[in-house]
Chain A
Amino acid sequence: MEPKEIQKLAITATKGRLLGLSAIHRAASGHTGGSLSVMDILTVLYFHEMKVNPEQPRDPDRDRLVLSKGHCSPALYAVLALRGFFPVEDMQLFRSIDGHYSGHPDMVHVKGVDMSTGSLGQGLSAAVGMALAGKMDSKNYRVYAVLGDGELDEGQIWEAAMAGAKYKVDNLCAVVDYNKMQIDGITDDVMPLGDLHAKWAAFGWNVIEVDGHDYAALADALDQAKAAKGKPTVILAHTIKGKGVSFMERVFTWHGKAPNDEQYAQAKGELEAHLKQLEEEGK
């Protein structure tokens, strides 16, 4: 990946973090930590990888994305808004009774959302279904499922993993936002996930591990996923919960908490400074 594109993606992701955080702050409610950790993954997908058209959000030939960790909707909404699916100003309706930008994504009302999610563990199944339909209809679209690591506690994920391997849906790529934390604490304390690489491999998946904040590495992993035939791919993307805001990084209590005015001002300041720096470097 060209340094210029990396820079562009970094700028977009930082704008996304600012948008998502502003929405959570305005709503005084939402999931901060995971929205920040998954932002780079979603940015690479929507701004580098996926074939989508905001003018035709339901194009049957489009690539699809299921945000199985639906509570990180602020990140998805921000990326969709920046990609042009709806006005950036709509982000102000996040979790508001005056709009449809629910706490968890709603495919019926929000343009660009391919599957309603929120109840953890269900998204990978839906993604396998989409991939199966693509195979049946000889379509070339690809399907992406973005999972949380805490979400892997759910048994349905592993049911879906078996089904994905059985039906050889190589048009499906799951990405785990592997930030090692969940709402009650460190995943290793809440429910140890063990050797995730070995587990997915044992379930018949092609497994790739990357730094989930490295745009070029993510893009490369997505290319490898496309090249892998006969089995679905999972990318274990190692991330930092709260990424981009110093006092939120690696602090699990930011999982489901909104920043107060003071915290928001500080976070906004940090992200804006980072954005300014990126934009100056790009000149």
Chain B
Amino acid sequence: MAGSIATRAAYGAALIELAETHPELVVLDADLAQAVTTCKFAEKYPDRHFDMGIAECNMTGIAAGLATCGKHPFTNTFAIFATGRAWEQVRNSIAYPGLPVTVVGSHGGLSVGEDGATHQCTEDLNNMRVIPGMTVVVPCDGNETRYATEALLNLNAPSYLRLCRMAVDNVTDEIPGYKFELGKGFTMRDGGDATIIACGLMVQEALKAAGMLAAEGISARVIDMHTIKPLDEELVVKAAQETGVIVTSEEHNVIGGLGAAVCECLSLRCPVPVVRHGVEDCFGRSGAAKKVLAAYGLTAEVLADKVRYALTLKKS
């Protein structure tokens, strides 16, 4: 792999790159500009950056007001505050009037690490997905983050972008034919026995798991489902039809996120067994990021086990 970078860092760089050609782009922070990496934008474009202090609800509301006047604000804080504390502001002040604001939840999932359960958000995809009209995106690496940021800026509608603290492998830039399209999953690796549908940092684990399984003669397809909503139903149904069993993998509660979205789609259109790999409806705890992920089973090894189990459920 060609190195690694945290999606939050790639996002911070993308904002600076996009600011030049998109005068409508403005950035709001809630005293976490260093952590979210928007501080560099603030340095370069001080007139287009607003630090609202530790007041996420107000930041979200101010973004809505800016959006009514032709701006496209990106609001930045940790995922837990963006989609938890300020959930109702996102719903009523941004999504209900359909305003072009991108709510950015950095430090999503357990890979926050040392800060522990209060800051490890495993509910954000659920929280944003249930709001009508929201587009929900979880990029898997730095390269994809750059494309996702641009796509959401051009969407001209409410959206949520989930980022992570921990560095992840650059998995997309070496894939031939890789193309980012909002609402379209990308097949990272083909396979016919089972399909892993993953998002965020679990995409790199999914690729590793597929490699392990290949050594056993199991051919696993890997789909990078960066857009959780609207879900690429055609790609999901095609995978269900062709491989007969699905394993979803996400750094999120197994309730309400990618796995739930896939189940909702398949229960109607192509019912096949779906095994959801993620956080088993529990709170996280402090620890080094990789150790926390391992403690909660968010590894290629456990994912490979989930695929082996899924194969036993497959209807012949």
Contact = CB atoms under 8 A, between A and B. Distances in A.
A114 B70 contact: no
Given A125-B60, A162-B53, A167-B50, A130 B66 contact: yes
Residue from B50, B65, B66 having most chain A Cβ neighbours under 10 A: B65
A283 to B, nearest CB: 43
Nearest to A136: B47
A156 B57 contact: yes
- The size bracket of the interface on A is 20 to 34
- The size bracket of the interface on B is 20 to 34
Interface of A is mostly: helix
A209 B48 CA distance: 34
Given A159-B58, A162-B53, A108 B66 contact: no
Given A125-B61, A128-B62, A107 B68 contact: yes
Interface in B44-79: 47-48, 50, 52-53, 55, 57-58, 60-71, 73
A122 B68 CA distance: 14
A131 B53 CA distance: 18
Nearest to A127: B65
Nearest to B93: A122
A122 B92 contact: yes
Contact of A159 (B50, B57, B66, B70): B57
Interface in A228-278: none
A155 B68 CA distance: 23
B284 interface: no
B93 A125 contact: yes
A126 B53 contact: no
Given A122-B92, A125-B93, A126-B93, A60 B69 contact: yes
A118 interface: yes
Contact of B55 (A136, A137, A163): A163
Contacts of A106: 96-97
A156 to B, nearest CB: 5
A68 B172 CA distance: 46
Contact of A129 (B55, B64, B96): B64
Interface string A108-134: 100000111011011111111111111
B93 to A, nearest CB: 5
Given A160-B61, A162-B58, 10 more contacts: A122-B64, A126-B68, A128-B62, A129-B64, A129-B73, A132-B50, A155-B57, A159-B58, A160-B58, A163-B52
15 contacts: A118-B92, A125-B93, A126-B62, A128-B61, A128-B65, A129-B62, A129-B63, A132-B62, A132-B66, A133-B69, A134-B69, A136-B48, A136-B71, A156-B55, A163-B50
